[in-house]
Amino acid sequence: MLSSLFTRLKNGLTKTRQHMTQAIANSLLGEKFTDAQILEEIETQLLMADVGVKATEKIIDQLIQERARNNLRDAPHLFEILNTALLDILKPCEHPLAVSSHHPYVILMVGINGAGKTTTIGKLAKRLQSEGKTVLLAAGDTFRAAAIEQLQVWGERNHIPVISGIPGGDSAAIIFDALNAAKARNIDVVIADTAGRLHTQQHLMDELAKIKRVIRKFDNSAPHEVMLVLDAGIGQNALQQAKQFQASVEVSGITVTKLDGTAKGGIVFAMAEELRLPIRFIGVGEAIDDLRPFEANDFVRALLTVPEE
Protein backbone atom coordinates (compact mmCIF):
# COMPACT_ATOMS: atom_id res chain seq x y z
CA MET A 1 0.00 0.00 0.00
CA LEU A 2 2.81 2.40 0.93
CA SER A 3 4.55 1.56 -2.34
CA SER A 4 1.33 2.24 -4.22
CA LEU A 5 0.93 5.63 -2.52
CA PHE A 6 4.53 6.60 -3.36
CA THR A 7 4.06 5.46 -6.95
CA ARG A 8 1.03 7.74 -7.27
CA LEU A 9 3.03 10.60 -5.80
CA LYS A 10 5.89 9.99 -8.23
CA ASN A 11 3.48 9.75 -11.15
CA GLY A 12 1.78 12.94 -10.04
CA LEU A 13 5.10 14.80 -10.03
CA THR A 14 6.16 13.53 -13.47
CA LYS A 15 5.90 16.90 -15.24
CA THR A 16 7.84 18.73 -12.56
CA ARG A 17 10.48 15.98 -12.43
CA GLN A 18 10.93 16.08 -16.21
CA HIS A 19 11.13 19.85 -16.21
CA MET A 20 13.49 20.15 -13.28
CA THR A 21 15.67 17.22 -12.28
CA GLN A 22 15.73 15.32 -15.57
CA ALA A 23 16.65 18.54 -17.37
CA ILE A 24 19.46 19.03 -14.86
CA ALA A 25 20.62 15.44 -15.38
CA ASN A 26 20.67 15.90 -19.15
CA SER A 27 22.77 19.04 -18.82
CA LEU A 28 25.42 17.10 -16.88
CA LEU A 29 26.16 14.54 -19.56
CA GLY A 30 29.79 14.77 -20.64
CA GLU A 31 30.46 17.94 -18.66
CA LYS A 32 33.15 18.67 -16.10
CA PHE A 33 31.79 19.16 -12.62
CA THR A 34 34.20 21.98 -11.87
CA ASP A 35 32.74 24.05 -14.68
CA ALA A 36 30.70 27.03 -13.45
CA GLN A 37 28.50 26.60 -16.50
CA ILE A 38 27.02 23.49 -14.92
CA LEU A 39 25.86 25.46 -11.90
CA GLU A 40 24.43 28.12 -14.17
CA GLU A 41 22.43 25.46 -16.01
CA ILE A 42 21.14 24.04 -12.73
CA GLU A 43 20.18 27.54 -11.62
CA THR A 44 18.26 28.06 -14.87
CA GLN A 45 16.35 24.79 -14.54
CA LEU A 46 15.42 25.50 -10.91
CA LEU A 47 14.10 28.94 -11.79
CA MET A 48 12.15 27.58 -14.75
CA ALA A 49 10.49 25.08 -12.39
CA ASP A 50 9.43 28.03 -10.17
CA VAL A 51 11.67 27.07 -7.28
CA GLY A 52 12.01 30.83 -6.77
CA VAL A 53 14.98 33.16 -6.52
CA LYS A 54 15.62 32.84 -2.78
CA ALA A 55 15.41 29.06 -2.68
CA THR A 56 17.47 28.73 -5.85
CA GLU A 57 20.21 30.98 -4.46
CA LYS A 58 20.31 28.89 -1.30
CA ILE A 59 20.64 25.66 -3.30
CA ILE A 60 23.33 27.04 -5.63
CA ASP A 61 25.32 28.45 -2.70
CA GLN A 62 25.33 25.00 -1.13
CA LEU A 63 26.53 23.42 -4.40
CA ILE A 64 29.29 26.04 -4.73
CA GLN A 65 30.50 25.24 -1.21
CA GLU A 66 30.57 21.53 -1.99
CA ARG A 67 32.41 22.18 -5.26
CA ALA A 68 35.06 24.06 -3.31
CA ARG A 69 35.48 20.92 -1.17
CA ASN A 70 35.83 18.87 -4.36
CA ASN A 71 32.62 16.97 -3.58
CA LEU A 72 31.02 17.41 -7.02
CA ARG A 73 33.03 14.60 -8.57
CA ASP A 74 30.23 13.08 -10.62
CA ALA A 75 26.49 13.19 -11.20
CA PRO A 76 25.51 10.86 -8.31
CA HIS A 77 27.50 13.00 -5.84
CA LEU A 78 25.94 16.17 -7.20
CA PHE A 79 22.44 14.75 -6.89
CA GLU A 80 23.17 13.58 -3.36
CA ILE A 81 24.10 17.13 -2.41
CA LEU A 82 21.10 18.51 -4.31
CA ASN A 83 18.87 16.09 -2.38
CA THR A 84 20.23 17.42 0.91
CA ALA A 85 19.79 21.04 -0.18
CA LEU A 86 16.17 20.46 -1.20
CA LEU A 87 15.37 18.66 2.05
CA ASP A 88 16.94 21.48 4.08
CA ILE A 89 14.37 23.83 2.56
CA LEU A 90 11.31 21.59 2.92
CA LYS A 91 11.84 19.84 6.25
CA PRO A 92 11.00 22.87 8.45
CA CYS A 93 7.57 23.06 6.76
CA GLU A 94 6.66 19.41 7.31
CA HIS A 95 3.93 19.75 9.94
CA PRO A 96 0.92 17.43 9.53
CA LEU A 97 -2.50 18.72 10.48
CA ALA A 98 -3.18 17.64 14.06
CA VAL A 99 -6.79 17.96 15.16
CA SER A 100 -6.60 18.94 18.80
CA SER A 101 -9.01 18.52 21.69
CA HIS A 102 -10.99 21.66 20.78
CA HIS A 103 -14.58 20.58 20.32
CA PRO A 104 -15.53 21.29 17.65
CA TYR A 105 -12.18 21.81 15.96
CA VAL A 106 -12.75 24.51 13.34
CA ILE A 107 -10.98 24.55 9.98
CA LEU A 108 -11.51 27.66 7.83
CA MET A 109 -10.69 27.04 4.18
CA VAL A 110 -9.56 29.99 2.05
CA GLY A 111 -8.22 30.51 -1.47
CA ILE A 112 -9.18 31.79 -4.88
CA ASN A 113 -11.67 30.22 -7.28
CA GLY A 114 -10.21 27.37 -9.29
CA ALA A 115 -7.57 26.35 -6.76
CA GLY A 116 -9.46 23.17 -5.84
CA LYS A 117 -10.73 24.37 -2.48
CA THR A 118 -14.10 22.62 -2.45
CA THR A 119 -12.62 19.36 -3.73
CA THR A 120 -9.95 19.57 -1.04
CA ILE A 121 -12.68 20.02 1.58
CA GLY A 122 -14.40 16.85 0.39
CA LYS A 123 -11.18 14.83 0.43
CA LEU A 124 -10.12 16.22 3.81
CA ALA A 125 -13.54 15.44 5.29
CA LYS A 126 -13.27 11.87 4.07
CA ARG A 127 -9.75 11.55 5.51
CA LEU A 128 -10.84 12.85 8.92
CA GLN A 129 -13.87 10.57 8.84
CA SER A 130 -11.62 7.57 8.15
CA GLU A 131 -9.62 8.56 11.25
CA GLY A 132 -12.75 8.22 13.35
CA LYS A 133 -13.71 11.90 13.52
CA THR A 134 -17.24 13.14 13.03
CA VAL A 135 -17.33 16.02 10.55
CA LEU A 136 -19.75 18.78 9.56
CA LEU A 137 -19.36 21.03 6.52
CA ALA A 138 -20.36 24.69 6.38
CA ALA A 139 -21.23 25.98 2.89
CA GLY A 140 -19.86 29.47 3.37
CA ASP A 141 -19.23 30.04 -0.34
CA THR A 142 -22.52 31.69 -1.23
CA PHE A 143 -21.20 33.58 -4.27
CA ARG A 144 -19.89 31.03 -6.75
CA ALA A 145 -22.52 29.36 -8.89
CA ALA A 146 -23.24 25.81 -7.71
CA ALA A 147 -20.70 26.00 -4.85
CA ILE A 148 -23.35 25.04 -2.29
CA GLU A 149 -24.53 22.12 -4.43
CA GLN A 150 -20.97 20.93 -4.98
CA LEU A 151 -20.34 20.79 -1.24
CA GLN A 152 -23.66 19.04 -0.68
CA VAL A 153 -22.65 16.35 -3.17
CA TRP A 154 -19.48 15.71 -1.16
CA GLY A 155 -21.59 15.57 2.00
CA GLU A 156 -24.06 13.09 0.55
CA ARG A 157 -21.27 10.93 -0.87
CA ASN A 158 -19.62 10.60 2.54
CA HIS A 159 -22.75 10.84 4.72
CA ILE A 160 -21.54 14.09 6.24
CA PRO A 161 -24.02 16.83 7.21
CA VAL A 162 -23.80 20.16 5.38
CA ILE A 163 -25.17 23.43 6.78
CA SER A 164 -26.02 25.87 4.00
CA GLY A 165 -28.06 28.95 3.23
CA ILE A 166 -29.32 30.68 0.13
CA PRO A 167 -27.07 31.83 -2.73
CA GLY A 168 -25.82 35.32 -1.96
CA GLY A 169 -26.47 34.91 1.75
CA ASP A 170 -24.32 36.04 4.65
CA SER A 171 -21.35 33.64 4.78
CA ALA A 172 -20.43 34.53 8.36
CA ALA A 173 -23.98 33.83 9.57
CA ILE A 174 -24.07 30.44 7.83
CA ILE A 175 -20.76 29.42 9.35
CA PHE A 176 -21.92 30.59 12.79
CA ASP A 177 -25.08 28.47 12.41
CA ALA A 178 -22.93 25.51 11.42
CA LEU A 179 -20.80 25.88 14.55
CA ASN A 180 -23.87 25.90 16.77
CA ALA A 181 -25.22 22.84 14.94
CA ALA A 182 -21.91 21.06 15.45
CA LYS A 183 -21.95 21.81 19.15
CA ALA A 184 -25.53 20.55 19.49
CA ARG A 185 -24.69 17.34 17.60
CA ASN A 186 -21.36 16.79 19.41
CA ILE A 187 -19.41 16.96 16.12
CA ASP A 188 -15.61 16.72 16.28
CA VAL A 189 -14.60 18.87 13.29
CA VAL A 190 -16.23 21.68 11.31
CA ILE A 191 -14.77 22.51 7.90
CA ALA A 192 -16.00 25.89 6.65
CA ASP A 193 -15.88 26.75 2.97
CA THR A 194 -15.54 30.39 1.91
CA ALA A 195 -15.99 32.22 -1.36
CA GLY A 196 -12.99 32.09 -3.65
CA ARG A 197 -11.52 35.54 -4.01
CA LEU A 198 -8.57 37.17 -5.64
CA HIS A 199 -5.96 38.34 -3.17
CA THR A 200 -6.22 41.78 -4.83
CA GLN A 201 -9.93 42.21 -3.98
CA GLN A 202 -9.58 43.99 -0.66
CA HIS A 203 -13.31 44.17 0.11
CA LEU A 204 -13.55 40.39 -0.20
CA MET A 205 -10.44 39.90 1.89
CA ASP A 206 -12.08 42.14 4.51
CA GLU A 207 -15.07 39.80 4.48
CA LEU A 208 -12.79 36.91 5.34
CA ALA A 209 -11.58 38.88 8.34
CA LYS A 210 -15.24 39.39 9.32
CA ILE A 211 -15.89 35.64 9.11
CA LYS A 212 -12.94 35.04 11.38
CA ARG A 213 -14.28 37.56 13.92
CA VAL A 214 -17.71 35.91 13.91
CA ILE A 215 -16.15 32.47 14.46
CA ARG A 216 -14.34 33.88 17.49
CA LYS A 217 -17.66 34.93 18.99
CA PHE A 218 -18.48 31.23 19.10
CA ASP A 219 -15.03 30.20 20.37
CA ASN A 220 -12.32 32.78 20.96
CA SER A 221 -9.63 30.18 20.16
CA ALA A 222 -11.15 29.42 16.73
CA PRO A 223 -10.60 28.97 13.87
CA HIS A 224 -8.02 26.44 14.96
CA GLU A 225 -6.72 26.08 11.42
CA VAL A 226 -6.86 28.59 8.56
CA MET A 227 -5.95 26.47 5.58
CA LEU A 228 -4.98 28.18 2.33
CA VAL A 229 -5.47 26.12 -0.83
CA LEU A 230 -3.09 27.02 -3.66
CA ASP A 231 -2.91 25.82 -7.25
CA ALA A 232 0.68 24.80 -8.05
CA GLY A 233 0.06 25.40 -11.75
CA ILE A 234 0.05 29.19 -11.38
CA GLY A 235 3.63 29.25 -10.14
CA GLN A 236 4.86 32.48 -8.55
CA ASN A 237 1.34 33.91 -8.48
CA ALA A 238 0.54 31.31 -5.84
CA LEU A 239 3.33 32.72 -3.69
CA GLN A 240 1.90 36.24 -4.00
CA GLN A 241 -1.56 34.95 -3.12
CA ALA A 242 -0.18 33.27 -0.01
CA LYS A 243 1.48 36.48 1.17
CA GLN A 244 -1.76 38.47 0.79
CA PHE A 245 -3.92 35.86 2.51
CA GLN A 246 -1.39 35.58 5.30
CA ALA A 247 -1.56 39.33 5.85
CA SER A 248 -5.38 39.30 5.94
CA VAL A 249 -6.30 36.17 7.87
CA GLU A 250 -3.11 34.73 9.39
CA VAL A 251 -2.88 31.48 7.46
CA SER A 252 -1.76 28.56 9.65
CA GLY A 253 -1.34 25.88 6.99
CA ILE A 254 -1.15 25.37 3.23
CA THR A 255 -2.48 22.72 0.87
CA VAL A 256 -0.88 22.71 -2.59
CA THR A 257 -3.13 21.21 -5.28
CA LYS A 258 -2.86 20.15 -8.93
CA LEU A 259 0.76 19.05 -8.74
CA ASP A 260 -0.16 16.30 -11.20
CA GLY A 261 -0.85 18.75 -14.01
CA THR A 262 2.05 21.17 -13.82
CA ALA A 263 5.75 21.45 -14.56
CA LYS A 264 5.95 24.18 -11.91
CA GLY A 265 5.87 22.01 -8.80
CA GLY A 266 9.06 23.72 -7.70
CA ILE A 267 6.79 26.42 -6.26
CA VAL A 268 6.58 24.23 -3.15
CA PHE A 269 10.24 25.07 -2.46
CA ALA A 270 9.61 28.79 -3.03
CA MET A 271 6.72 28.71 -0.54
CA ALA A 272 8.75 26.80 2.02
CA GLU A 273 11.72 29.17 1.79
CA GLU A 274 9.82 32.45 1.74
CA LEU A 275 6.71 31.78 3.84
CA ARG A 276 7.97 29.25 6.39
CA LEU A 277 4.36 28.11 6.88
CA PRO A 278 3.37 24.49 7.54
CA ILE A 279 2.53 22.59 4.36
CA ARG A 280 -0.26 20.27 5.47
CA PHE A 281 -1.23 18.46 2.28
CA ILE A 282 -0.40 18.15 -1.40
CA GLY A 283 -2.78 17.12 -4.16
CA VAL A 284 -1.33 14.87 -6.86
CA GLY A 285 -4.46 13.54 -8.57
CA GLU A 286 -8.23 13.20 -8.57
CA ALA A 287 -8.56 10.10 -6.40
CA ILE A 288 -9.58 10.49 -2.78
CA ASP A 289 -6.16 9.21 -1.61
CA ASP A 290 -4.34 11.71 -3.81
CA LEU A 291 -4.68 14.36 -1.10
CA ARG A 292 -1.55 13.36 0.78
CA PRO A 293 -0.04 14.64 4.02
CA PHE A 294 3.09 16.50 3.00
CA GLU A 295 6.29 14.54 3.67
CA ALA A 296 9.51 16.24 2.61
CA ASN A 297 11.49 13.03 2.12
CA ASP A 298 8.89 11.46 -0.16
CA PHE A 299 8.41 14.69 -2.10
CA VAL A 300 12.12 15.09 -2.87
CA ARG A 301 12.57 11.37 -3.55
CA ALA A 302 9.73 11.52 -6.08
CA LEU A 303 11.32 14.52 -7.81
CA LEU A 304 14.96 13.54 -8.12
CA THR A 305 16.05 11.32 -10.97
CA VAL A 306 19.71 10.44 -10.48
CA PRO A 307 21.43 10.00 -13.86
CA GLU A 308 23.07 6.68 -14.52
CA GLU A 309 26.85 6.54 -14.83
pLDDT of residue 66: 86
Average of per-residue pLDDT values in the chain = 88
Residue 206, CA distances (Å) to 159, 203, 229, 239, 277 in order? 33, 5, 18, 20, 22
Indicate the SS3 state at residue 183.
helix
pLDDT higher than threshold 60 for residue 10: yes
Mean pLDDT, to the nearest integer, of 72-87? 86
The answer to whether 159 touches 192, Cβ cutoff 8 Å, is no
Per-residue pLDDT tens digits for 257-299 = 998 888 788 999 999 999 999 999 999 888 877 899 999 999 9
What is the extent of the structural domain holding 70?
2-93
Domain end call among 57, 72, 93: 93
The answer to whether 74 and 307 have CB atoms below 8 angstroms apart is no
Percent of the chain that is helix, strand, coil (3-state, to 5):
55, 10, 35
Q: Quote the CA–CA distance of 159 and 163 in Å, as a whole number.
A: 13
State the pLDDT at residue 3: 54
Domain of 185: which CATH number?
A: 3.40.50.300
The two beta strands, 279-283 and 253-257, are parallel
Once rounded to an integer, what is the mean pLDDT over residues 52-81? Answer: 87
Is residue 75 domain-resident?
Answer: yes
**79 shares a domain with 116:** no
Q: Please say if the pLDDT value at position 307 is more than 60.
A: no
Residues 269 and 166 reside in one and the same domain: yes
Q: Is the predicted pLDDT of residue 187 greater than 80, yes or no?
A: yes
Q: How confident is the model at residue 309 (pLDDT cuts 50, 70, 90)?
A: very low
Question: Strands 162-163, 291-293: parallel, antiparallel or unpaired by DSSP?
Answer: unpaired
Identify the burial level of 245 via C-beta atoms within 10 angstroms of its C-beta, where 0-12 means exposed, 13-18 middle and 19 or more buried. buried
Domain count along the chain? 2
Q: Are residues 179 and 56 in the same domain?
A: no
**pLDDT value of position 24:** 79
- Asked if 79 and 103 touch (Cβ cutoff 8 Å), the reply is no
Is the pLDDT at 156 greater than 70? The verdict is yes
Query: Which residues fall within 8 angstroms of residue 136, CB to CB, at 6 or more apart?
Result: 104, 160, 161, 162, 163, 178, 181, 182, 185, 187, 189, 190, 191
129 pLDDT band, cuts 50/70/90, is very high
Task: Supply φ then ψ for residue 112, to 5 degrees.
Answer: -85, 165
> Could you tell me where the DSSP H helices lie in 49-116?
53-68, 75-90
Asked which of 93, 113, 133 is the last residue of a domain, the reply is: 93
Q: Strand 105-110 vs strand 189-192: parallel, antiparallel, or unpaired?
A: parallel
The C-alpha atoms of residue 207 and residue 210 are separated, in whole angstroms, by 5
Residue range 23-49: mean pLDDT, rounded: 76
Question: What pLDDT sits at residue 35?
Answer: 63
CB 12 within 8 Å of CB 304: no
Provide the 10 A C-beta neighbour count for residue 68.
9
Cis peptide before 76 (omega within 30 of 0): no
Is there a single domain that holds both residue 7 and residue 65?
Answer: yes
**pLDDT of 33 higher than 70:** no
* CA dist., res. 54 & res. 34, Å (int): 23
The predicted pLDDT at position 201 comes to 66
pTM, two decimal places: 0.91
* Residues 127 and 269 both lie in one domain: yes
24 by DSSP, 3-state: which? helix
User: Distance between CA atoms of 111 and 141, rounded to whole angstroms?
Assistant: 11
Residues 81 and 155 in one domain: no
What is the mean predicted confidence (pLDDT) over 34-60? 87
Average pLDDT over residues 27-32: 62
Is residue 299 a part of any domain in this protein? no
Closest CA to 195 of 242, 229, 236: 229
CATH of the domain at 56: 1.20.120.140
The answer to whether residues 112 and 228 belong to one domain is yes
Task: Assess whether 32 and 159 both reside in one domain.
Answer: no
What mean pLDDT comes out for the span 165-181? 93
Angle (nearest 5°) at CA 150 between 141 and 107: 50
Higher model confidence: residue 73 or residue 258? Answer: 258
Residues with Cβ within 8 Å of 69's Cβ and at least 6 positions away in sequence, in order, are none
pLDDT mean over 139-157: 89
Q: Are 169 and 288 in the same domain?
A: yes
Res. 101: pLDDT tops 70: yes
Q: Is the pLDDT of residue 1 over 50?
A: no
Of 30, 65, 93, the one marking the end of a domain is: 93
